[in-house]
Chains A and B, each alone.
Chain A
Amino acid sequence: MNTFDPPAAAPRGIWPKSMLSARIAKFRELGLLGFIILLSIGVQLRNPSFLTLENINDMATNTAILGILAVGMMLVIVTRGIDLSIGATLALSGMIAAQTVSAFPEIPPVAVLLIGTVTGLVSGIVIGFLVSKIGILPIIATLGMMNIFRGLTFWTSGGKWVSAHQMPVDFKAIATGKLFGINNLIVIAIIIYVIAYYFVNHTRTGRQIYAVGSNPDSAVISGINRDKILWLVYSIMGGLSGLAGVLWVSKFASAQGDTASGYELSVIAACVLGGVSIAGGSGKISGIILGSVLLGILNNALPLINISAFWQTGIQGAIILAAVLINAIVKRGVDRNHLMRRKI
């Protein structure tokens, strides 16, 4: 006889309030989607040019780089870490790629993408080493490496810009070209999301990332190589930042020492909006897609409805704070719900 029967006979009447928050939590992405739809309808009413195919394409192109970086950042945050260095990694690999193409204009675009990605990967491996093997807190390690990468970017360029006329047409075409009528950036982002979805949900290593994040000690006890996982996520983050660096430089047709400075905060914001918990262990691919899309819409829509550019930072900050707080309140409801179930 099983003495641990689930409390099937529990009085259901005592739960309604907490059930509601649990239900919200279950469909958290749905709520975010609802918010995005409401926002889009609101903007569309004010400015009919918002939901045109052209503008949506623009918006997706502008959001693609953010989305690519958000994948790596999600993995890092899931392991309870944070990476402040990605803006600098992006700038460094973008700069190295730009200098390569301006020195060797015949080089095929794929090779440039590879050079950038490898540069980023190396940067990520260094950070991963510092975090996993030496045991420096991620925020400090990435803060230090951010300074170093940013300095290296200025150093390699000698403080000069690489501007559009120094770049061959092929290179600039990476970001403007189309595959099956869809902008290359969007295609690359979609490919990365598909791979990431498979990796995170259907491979052993992917699941181990979540295990390390939700409880590092039990992960180690159950035989997961925690150091390897940490090293891996920072390397992936670095590789993606390197790739994003090349795309960024190709898109804006200019590489500068201060490219993307402060961009790491937007990426973290996209993850947090998408429900990736900074405490580690939770975060979904669907969430970060929505988080990136929401940030992308805010960037695109606020100018369209004549909100001054100077108000955008504040509005974005307020929305991020609201999302974080609502997330926390909902989570409290869920936890209370779990407790109530246990009490019987």
Chain B
Amino acid sequence: MEPRIVTNKQPFSYKRFFLQWEWMLVLLFLAITVMNMNLSEFYWDYENLRDATMGFLDKAFIVLPMVFVIILADIDISVASIVALSSVIMADLFNRGVPLELAMIICLVVGTVCGWINGMLIVKYKELSSVIITLSTMIIYRGIAYMILEDQAAGSFPDWFSYLGWGYVGSIPFILIVFTVFAVLFSLLLHKTVFGRQLYAMGNNTTAARFSGIRVDRIKVIVFTLAGLMAAVTALFLTSRMGSTRPNIAMGYELDVIAMVVLGGISTAGGKGRMIGAILAVFLIGFLRYGLGLVNVQAQILLIIIGVLLIAAVAVPQLKRSNRLTRNT
């Protein structure tokens, strides 16, 4: 008897293809573009748009690993504090005479170690949720940044350092190129490797994933370490853009980042969502902020819009599901 082959690939259907969350984001993106073009004649301009990306891409580096974290149904709210700590340590070392190249490497190492500590604590104390662990480390990392710099600012970096945040390669911003490289790497990692499939498996059912031979603890530590590393990358670019650093740098970034990831269609229940959604959400919020900024809409109104978008992004799929449930029963 022939073994029946069950494939996990569903046949292609146009309906399913277009009923994806990402199309919703694309539509929203177009709507925002049209709205912004009507609001201001300066919006639709290649150079303006290009330079606008430099303004919001710094935190986008954290969005990439945060997608992994949320696919695991975890959350990391310490990332902004890691940005602050690694940035402060880098600037302080530089001001004490360490060469900037070395200080930048130390910055990356500090971020990685912070992320690793988060991961180890979460794996060793499974009964504690990642919310509570990263909440405590968030306070600690920020606290250490305050211990180092107190109320001072540190900076006066050499000119070449500002290239990270302000420089161009040809006519394309350097930060945009670096982000594209990282975005492609993380997308490939999530969608084309065994590691990525294991992330989805763990997000759907950690116990089942463990019993099917996935080293869940190791993967979790890797994911949180990646989040720390990318927070340090953000620290490099952000510090370069600001030209100096303070312990209260990047305050509130964690919530921005989580909002972008959730808006990108990555389910906080774990196991669902794609990298492209989060990347679209980054540009969506970035251009929305830029366009409204052009016509002097207050940043606070923007807060309201982002809040509504965030809740709508989560509520719409929920409503759809509950409708279907009531119809079936």
Give bound CA distance, A153 to B311, whole Å.
Answer: 19
B311 touches A130 (CB 8 A): yes
Known contacts A130-B311, A140-B310, A145-B307; decide if A318 and B140 are in contact (CB<8 Å). Answer: yes
Give bound CA distance, A143 to B135, whole Å.
Answer: 14
Give bound CA distance, A105 to B56, whole Å.
Answer: 44
A147 touches B143 (CB 8 A): no
| B122-142 interface (Cβ within 8 A of A) | 125, 127-129, 131-133, 135-142
Range for the number of chain B residues in contact with chain A: 35 or more
B51 to chain A, nearest CB (A): 26
| B273-329 interface (Cβ within 8 A of A) | 298, 300-308, 310-311, 314-315, 318-319, 322
Which one of B137, B142, B304 contacts A152 once the chains associate, using CB atoms below 8 Å?
B304
- Of A33-41, A235-243, A324-332, the segment with at least 4 beta carbons within 8 Å of chain B is A324-332
> Does B194 interact with chain A (Cβ within 8 Å)?
no
Q: Which residues of A contact B315 (CB under 8 A)?
A: 130, 134, 136
Known contacts A140-B268, A151-B302; decide if A268 and B147 are in contact (CB<8 Å). Answer: no
- Of A193-201, A210-218, A309-317, the segment with at least 4 beta carbons within 8 Å of chain B is A309-317
> Does B151 interact with chain A (Cβ within 8 Å)?
yes
The interface residues of chain B, by DSSP majority, are classed as helix
A310 touches B151 (CB 8 A): yes
> Does B146 interact with chain A (Cβ within 8 Å)?
yes
> Does B258 interact with chain A (Cβ within 8 Å)?
yes
Which one of A151, A310, A314 contacts B307 once the chains associate, using CB atoms below 8 Å?
A151
> Does A220 interact with chain B (Cβ within 8 Å)?
no
> Does B259 interact with chain A (Cβ within 8 Å)?
yes
> Does B39 interact with chain A (Cβ within 8 Å)?
no
Q: Which residues of A contact B150 (CB under 8 A)?
A: 308, 310
Q: Which residues of B contact A155 (CB under 8 A)?
A: 298, 300-301, 304
The interface residues of chain A, by DSSP majority, are classed as helix
> Does A278 interact with chain B (Cβ within 8 Å)?
yes
| A133-151 interface (Cβ within 8 A of B) | 134-137, 139-141, 143-148, 150-151
A143 touches B298 (CB 8 A): no
A293 to chain B, nearest CB (A): 19
Known contacts A324-B128, A328-B127; decide if A317 and B303 are in contact (CB<8 Å). Answer: no
> Does A59 interact with chain B (Cβ within 8 Å)?
no
Q: Which residues of B contact A134 (CB under 8 A)?
A: 315, 318-319, 322
Q: Which residues of B contact A269 (CB under 8 A)?
A: 135-136, 139
A135 touches B258 (CB 8 A): no
Q: Can you give 7 contacting A-B residue pairs, CB < 8 Å? A: A130-B311, A134-B322, A139-B268, A140-B311, A146-B255, A310-B146, A317-B141
Give bound CA distance, A146 to B302, whole Å.
Answer: 13
* Chain B residue nearest to A127 in the complex (CB): B311
A321 touches B136 (CB 8 A): yes
- Which interface residue of B132, B143, B301, B310 has the most chain A CB atoms within 10 A? B132
Interface membership of chain A positions 285-322, coded 1 if the CB is closer than 8 angstroms to chain B and 0 otherwise: 00000000000000000000000101111111110110
> Does A265 interact with chain B (Cβ within 8 Å)?
yes
A139 touches B131 (CB 8 A): yes
A217 to chain B, nearest CB (A): 16
A279 touches B129 (CB 8 A): yes
Known contacts A136-B315, A137-B314, A268-B135; decide if A314 and B146 are in contact (CB<8 Å). Answer: yes
Interface membership of chain B positions 42-63, coded 1 if the CB is closer than 8 angstroms to chain A and 0 otherwise: 0000000000000000000000
